[in-house]
Chains A and B, each alone.
Chain A
């Protein structure tokens, strides 16, 4: 059945149920363990409500996933739907014949169900290419034994951290992977810093310099450990030697059972006029593939998976933080301190850029973070150098004919 009359089309676009044709849908994802089980359950629930429709899922190891998509999808050998973070989205759109634009299907009802920033992560040059499934970002995680009330501002944070730091005993008030640009971005974004401005790299923007200056102040105050590798932070926190950390949901599984931890929003930054720290958010999207033969059915599935029932399953059983706002109205989700803490943090989080050129930023930015935190370069000097390198590489890619 194909709706042909305009009125019917409008109806179909607005109706809750999509077209009722039978379809065999395939979905690729990179989940395992409870996330995989929850996802398969949500897919099965969808298929159960659609007689004649089957949903087959395939888990692909993350390390091979992007390559597999790039190899298979444009050649028509891929799935109907796949799940991936927004970081590769721009690249796949530019390479073409990989992800299907969804604006045509999107109505206000579906658009309105998402946390706006998550939908923004799925938008590339004004067009929406996927429905946001879930998001991840860092937040403040603290040891309840050491911190009774989490700090609200950086002033409080530094004061509290100084009190809890005892360098001789190897104790630190605050520990986070500050020399990793991804973690540092929370501070940078608080100042209004950014990597791209209208598609052009601006790594040495004055706001970015200010953020590094503040970080250097924290390092000089001695409240953070030197060379903060993720392994170091984990063991410090587990041994009660780091009172507070900035970290994401992936960290929770590594916290030792005996540590009683709390979660809170990242503090506001006094030095940035009281603006909140704004961590980068990575959003996993559900994408309909461009060569799919069942695009409408695939969109229907994607719509279902981002709706409240599926989002609740993914949240409670898959331990994901869904992008659907309404999922947090469920008392079981709202009552979950972890899920609600990351939901609260999402209010200030910014989607990480989805431009393909972002991949050229990481290596120079890592050099900036390493040299500046080791005092081998000034913030301005290091950022200028990185900016020059990124500009050169971007120009190398975007040659005019």
Chain B
């Protein structure tokens, strides 16, 4: 694509982006430094007395004094971390599928039908996010474990995670569905298509960018959650990765090196997922699709 005359020059943009990205990544670099240091301390840098500029410069540089993979190997050998990653993956994928499915059907109805209770319904999704969760652990435990009998099961966890991600997803998808022109569906209805067909064949393919975001969001809300997973699961082999991570930093002794290494490991799948989903966030895709 050739650059048009009134588009800004790319040089300054790159300069800005590089600088900003560096700032944004800087704390993560410290996580990496701690992870690769082979040590367990969270303290960032030591300084000699009366530090010179070079000492200060060294102190602000996230670079381990000595590189070591020991923290990473320890994460895997100290606990069945790989199996817990597997649990996390299964639960997060199921949450994503269920959460996105629930959200897209609801969002479609909110976007395309006019029915009594529509406003109230949309509001209730929003309202559900407003009540602070600090006091909610016990009632939630009662529902999931005592009423539904889903204590220590993956199903219970998936249900809870999916419902926590649904409100945002519904609002996000409804907003996006609203931007899809109705002419396309009306044409299909005239040709005799059912609501279901229109939904799956026309709306869903067009809403890929929003679906990508909601999928990522649903995945994340399950992937990093810790307290519910630790509370609801009563078997060690059913724990998720965040639960495993928290073992390193509770109570009196804290293994920050292990925790940092584990955090890096846990972040990799999210980054990969985003890497694959981002093609749906690339300019021009839907613009052509809508017309085509």
Interface positions of A (Cβ within 8 A of B): 30, 32-33, 58-65, 67-68, 70-72, 75, 77, 136, 168-170, 231-232, 234-235, 239, 248-250, 253-254
Q: Closest approach, in angstroms, between the C-beta of A138 and any C-beta of chain B?
A: 11
Question: Would A136 and B151 count as touching, CB distance under 8 A?
Answer: no
Question: Would A231 and B243 count as touching, CB distance under 8 A?
Answer: no
How far does the alpha carbon of A77 sit from the alpha carbon of B243 in the complex, in Å? 20
Inter-chain contacts of A254 with B (CB < 8 A): 40-41
Inter-chain contacts of A168 with B (CB < 8 A): 49
Inter-chain contacts of A71 with B (CB < 8 A): 137-138, 141, 231
CB within 8 Å of A: which of B216-242? 226-227, 230-231, 234-236
Apart from A75-B142, A75-B146, A248-B252, what 15 extra A-B contacts exist at CB < 8 Å?
A32-B79, A33-B78, A59-B247, A61-B230, A63-B246, A64-B226, A64-B227, A68-B231, A71-B141, A72-B145, A72-B231, A75-B141, A77-B146, A239-B46, A250-B252
Q: Closest approach, in angstroms, between the C-beta of B39 and any C-beta of chain A?
A: 9
Question: Would A58 and B231 count as touching, CB distance under 8 A?
Answer: no
Provided the pairs A68-B231, A235-B43, A250-B252 are in contact, do residues A32 and B78 lie with their beta carbons within 8 angstroms? yes
Question: Would B43 and A59 count as touching, CB distance under 8 A?
Answer: no
Question: Would B151 and A30 count as touching, CB distance under 8 A?
Answer: no
Interface positions of B (Cβ within 8 A of A): 40-43, 46, 49, 78-79, 137-138, 141-142, 145-146, 151, 226-227, 230-231, 234-236, 243, 246-253
How far does the alpha carbon of A170 sit from the alpha carbon of B49 in the complex, in Å? 6
Provided the pairs A32-B79, A61-B246, A63-B246 are in contact, do residues A231 and B141 lie with their beta carbons within 8 angstroms? no
How far does the alpha carbon of A33 sit from the alpha carbon of B255 in the complex, in Å? 11
Inter-chain contacts of B137 with A (CB < 8 A): 67, 71
How far does the alpha carbon of A58 sit from the alpha carbon of B231 in the complex, in Å? 12
Question: Would B250 and A58 count as touching, CB distance under 8 A?
Answer: no
Inter-chain contacts of B250 with A (CB < 8 A): 30, 61-63, 65
How far does the alpha carbon of A70 sit from the alpha carbon of B135 in the complex, in Å? 12
Interchain CB contact (< 8 A) of A62 among B43, B235, B251 = B251
Return the chain B residue nearest A79 by Cβ. B234
Inter-chain contacts of A60 with B (CB < 8 A): 230
How far does the alpha carbon of A71 sit from the alpha carbon of B251 in the complex, in Å? 20
How far does the alpha carbon of A270 sit from the alpha carbon of B248 in the complex, in Å? 41
Inter-chain contacts of A58 with B (CB < 8 A): 234-236
How far does the alpha carbon of A289 sit from the alpha carbon of B226 in the complex, in Å? 25
How far does the alpha carbon of A136 sit from the alpha carbon of B251 in the complex, in Å? 12
Q: Closest approach, in angstroms, between the C-beta of B80 and any C-beta of chain A?
A: 11
